[in-house]
Structure formats: structure tokens, C-alpha cells
Amino acid sequence: MPKSKDSPDGSAGEQRRLQMVDIARLAGVSVSTVSRALNGSELVNAETRQRVAELARSLNYSINFGARNLRLQENKTVAVVVPYDAKSRQHISDPFFLSIVGSIADALTDRGYDMLLSRVDAERLDLASHWFDSGKAIGVILIGQWRQHDQLNDMAARKLPLVVWGGEMPQQLYCSVGGDNVLGGALATRHLLALGRRRIAFVGDARLPEVWLRQQGYQQALQHAGLQADPALELPAAFEPGVATGELREFFAARRDFDAVFCCSDVLALLSIQALRAAGRSVPGDVAVIGYDDMPLAAYCDPPLTTVHQPVAEAGAELVEALLGQLRGERAGPRTLPVYLKLRESAPNT
């Protein structure tokens, strides 16, 4: 038998949580009637319905969703999973990812869903399926695909309701939603070329699908301009500030044969600017810098960052819609959202 104490959660001496049976007794009706009344059923007398509803409200009664969901076999909770780097115990705290989480929170709230937020080892994204398997969530939204493209495909093959923020890759079985990374890379590069810059460094780890796509855009833009991408100017910097800082300082100290840098995140852009200045080069005078994401603080840095704007506000709604669509049985493909270049001082228009 469960605890027979009057306190369902073990806290001593608190009042027992109100249940339907309590309302029923006080209203002088059966629980069935209370249930119907509270759900606005037409089957119950309007006067009774009114009375029960009022009583429930005045007593501050809230329905027990666990019981309701069990009975109804339904659930309005979505798991949102943020990968983190378990090896370095370092958390993915990139402002951009956090913005996406906020955007998803809004979208879920608007649709009456709850959000279960958790972290998962970036090497074992497949563990995210646990939330679905255990019935705690009806599906999973994963923020970033990292290098686990295969794991994600497996998860989709196992019929896990899953949507991933990230880039669309060839032969992809799972549903992804993301910005147009190829376009973003091309926009940034074209702008730098238009400024007259010819030696453009690329900062980002192309093992990540999103970065790889941006690199494609970067290379395409160079080719279009009749230039050849120089692999020596491509630095596969990590996303974690702690790791990237050293890599960038070393890189910028070693070589000066470039006049622009395209970074695959605003944080990397910030770090690059610092490293460039440490190497005695000015931004944007000597080196123009373009970031990616347009994070909330991008406008308040010094210099304010020219950056590829990602559609954060739309992202949440798109991710949620994709997941709910999947649950309705729709066979939705990956979605690519538009991006644009936000001009500021780190690579100004002149």
C-alpha cells in the first residue's frame, strides 16, 4: 500500500492535495458528475456545472494530470534535449542554443504543451529516446545534431518521434529543422568579397553538419568570385570557448596572410576578435570579422558583430509543428528556414 499519511509527497503536516472526490462530496454529487462538469460536458445540468466549477475554483482545485493522462492514454509533454560535452564536463552554454530553447518554450506553451528539459552526452544522443520510451514525453526535440548523424538516423528508424535542430544532410532519415546554412555561408563570404577582402579565413569544425554546410556556402562563394578556397585558412575550432581560445590565438599568431574571418558562431567571432587584437591586428581595419547566429548580445559587443541572423523566433514554432505533425502521422521532410546578413561594425558596409 502507498503511504496512508495525509501528505502525498511526504512533507509533514501539509494538507492533502484536493481530489475530485472531495469536490464531489462537498457539492453533493458523484465524481463522474464532477469530472463531466469540469470538462464542460453537455451531459451535466448547466446549474450543477456552474456550481461545481465555482466550488473547484474557490478551493483552488487542480486536476491530477498524471491520473488523467494514464486514463486517457495521452500526454502533453515534449522532451527538449540539449547535448553537452561529457568528456570535458563542459556544458553547451552557447547563447544561441539557449535562445532556441526559449523559443521552443514559447511555442510549446502556446499550444498547451509542457517542456521537459534535459541534457545528454553529445556522444550518446540516442539516450534521448528514453523520454519517449518511458512515456514521460510524446516526442523529443534535440538541439543540434553534433557528429551523431548515424545515431539520429537509427533513432528515426526506431520510429521515435524526433525533430532535430540542424542542417539537412544527404540520406537523412530524421526530421531536421534549421537555418539555410549554405546560404548563410555564402552571404557572409560574398559580403566580405564585396568589401574587397580576398583572403578569407574560415573558423568552425566541419565535422558538424551545420558547419560543413556553411563551409560549402563559403567555398561556393569563393569559386563564384573566381577564387580558390585555401585549406590552410580553414581552422576547425571547437565550439567550447575554453578550447577554442587557445586554438584561435595560436592560429592568428602563426599566420597573417588573410584580411577577413568568417566564424561559425558569434562566440567564436568574439574570441577571434580578441585573438586578433592580441596579435596586433585591428578589427575591422586589418581584418573584417563576420559571426553566425546573431545572438542577443551580438549588437552590444565591441565592435558590434556583423553576423548571419538565424530565425530564432520562428525556430521554436517550426520545431514544435514538425514534431506534432509527425505525431499526427504526417510524413514531413526537413525544413530549411531563411537567414540574412545583419550588418554591424565588425564588417561594415563600407
| Interaction site with DNA (CB under 7 A) | 1-2, 8, 17, 19-21, 28-33, 35-36, 38-39, 43-45, 48, 63-64, 67-68, 70-73
Q: Determine if 241 is a binding residue for a copy of itself (CB under 8 A).
A: yes
CB of 141 to DNA, least distance (A): 24
Distance CA 317, CA 319 (A): 6
Beta carbon nearer to a copy of itself, 99 or 336 = 99
Beta carbon nearer to a copy of itself, 104 or 182 = 104
CB of 69 to DNA, least distance (A): 8
Distance CA 56, CA 135 (A): 29
Beta carbon nearer to a copy of itself, 238 or 273 = 273
Q: Is 235 exposed, middle or buried (0-12, 13-18, 19+ CB in 10 A)?
A: buried
Q: Which of 15, 58, 171, 350 binds a copy of itself (CB under 8 A)?
A: 15
C-alpha cell at 192: 566580405
Contact partner at residue 106 from a copy of itself, DNA, none, CB < 5 to 8 Å by partner kind: a copy of itself
Beta carbon nearer to a copy of itself, 53 or 101 = 101
Contact partner at residue 43 from a copy of itself, DNA, none, CB < 5 to 8 Å by partner kind: DNA
Name, in order, each residue with C-beta under 8 angstroms of 29's C-beta and a sequence gap of 6 or more.
37, 48, 52
Q: Determine if 130 is a binding residue for a copy of itself (CB under 8 A).
A: yes
Distance CA 109, CA 115 (A): 8
CB of 122 to DNA, least distance (A): 29
For residue 303, which phi and psi values (nearest 5 degrees)? -75, 155
Of residues 58-117, which lie at the interface with a copy of itself (CB under 8 A)? 60-67, 69-75, 77, 80, 91, 93, 95, 98-99, 101-102, 105-106, 109, 114-117
Q: Helix (H, G, I), strand (E, B), or coil: what is residue 296?
A: coil
Bond preceding residue 338 cis, omega within 30 of 0: no
Helix (H) or strand (E) holding 202: strand 200-203
CB of 227 to a copy of itself, least distance (A): 31
Beta carbon nearer to DNA, 50 or 349 = 50
Beta carbon nearer to a copy of itself, 63 or 225 = 63
Contact partner at residue 39 from a copy of itself, DNA, none, CB < 5 to 8 Å by partner kind: DNA
Q: Helix (H, G, I), strand (E, B), or coil: what is residue 120?
A: strand
Distance CA 216, CA 166 (A): 15
Q: Determine if 300 is a binding residue for a copy of itself (CB under 8 A).
A: yes
For residue 331, which phi and psi values (nearest 5 degrees)? -100, 75
C-alpha cell at 136: 514521460
Q: Helix (H, G, I), strand (E, B), or coil: what is residue 29?
A: coil
The alpha-helical segments, DSSP class H, found in the chain are: 20-27, 31-38, 46-58, 65-72, 95-110, 130-133, 149-157, 181-194, 209-224, 241-254, 266-278, 312-327
CB of 75 to DNA, least distance (A): 11
**Whether 288 contacts 346, CB under 8 Å:** yes
- Pairing status of strand 306-309 against strand 340-342: antiparallel
Q: Determine if 170 is a binding residue for a copy of itself (CB under 8 A).
A: no
CB of 31 to a copy of itself, least distance (A): 16
Beta carbon nearer to a copy of itself, 213 or 263 = 263
Q: Determine if 6 is a binding residue for a copy of itself (CB under 8 A).
A: no
Q: What angle do CA 229, 234, 235 make, to 5 degrees?
A: 175
Question: Binding residues for a copy of itself, per CB under 8 A?
Answer: 2-3, 8-15, 17, 60-67, 69-75, 77, 80, 91, 93, 95, 98-99, 101-102, 105-106, 109, 114-119, 130, 133-136, 138, 159, 161, 241, 267, 270-271, 273-274, 277, 296-297, 300-302, 326-329
